[in-house]
Amino acid sequence: MSATELGAAIADDFVKAAVLAGVEIPRADIQVACLPAPHRPPSSFPVSKLAVYVFMYADRCLKVGKAGPNSAARYCSQHYGFNAPSTLAKSLLKRQTDIGVNGLTEQSAKDWICKNTTRLDFLMPSRHGVFALSLLEAFVQCRLQPEFEGFSSQRLPSNNTQQPTSA
């Protein structure tokens, strides 16, 4: 499945899951932007939007995050560098061998991210609010099981997704 198809499938399924949470979001309200590798970081935050962004390395999800209009730097640039807490660049430098990468440095991390990761951005109108944004972020995290999210002791074993249990 291509990144574009993956993004569309996640958006389709999220709309259904949101209904279960009492949140009505028309599918047409969720834009999925795919920036395939190599990509350039976004230069600005989309006006009147909320965003969930994903960094993929081949078929592995590395990072999922969310941003609103007051966190444009988080959306556009912070994950590519070292000037903020908890960035993709910092995680890569610390745990590069976990994903089969070697030799990354602070100087090469941004270039590596741009050349080797595909970025998926899920954008929705800001009128849906922060709770819908948080729900979308959690949904995407559950679906993609990012390598560099949360504490490693709290994550499921690699490439293992939780299966629903029947009652």
Where are the domains positioned within the chain? Answer: 29-126
Residue ranges, the chain, pLDDT below 70? 150-167
Output the pTM of the full model. Answer: 0.89
Which phi and psi angles does 122 have, rounded to 5°? Answer: -105, 115
Mean predicted lDDT score pLDDT of the chain: 90
Q: What is the DSSP letter of 135?
A: H
Question: What pLDDT is recorded for position 165?
Answer: 40
Question: What pLDDT is recorded for position 85?
Answer: 86
Q: E strand or H helix at 6, and its extent?
A: helix 3-20
Question: What pLDDT is recorded for position 160?
Answer: 46
Question: What pLDDT is recorded for position 137?
Answer: 97
Question: What pLDDT is recorded for position 150?
Answer: 64
Q: Are 72 and 81 in contact (CB under 8 A)?
A: no
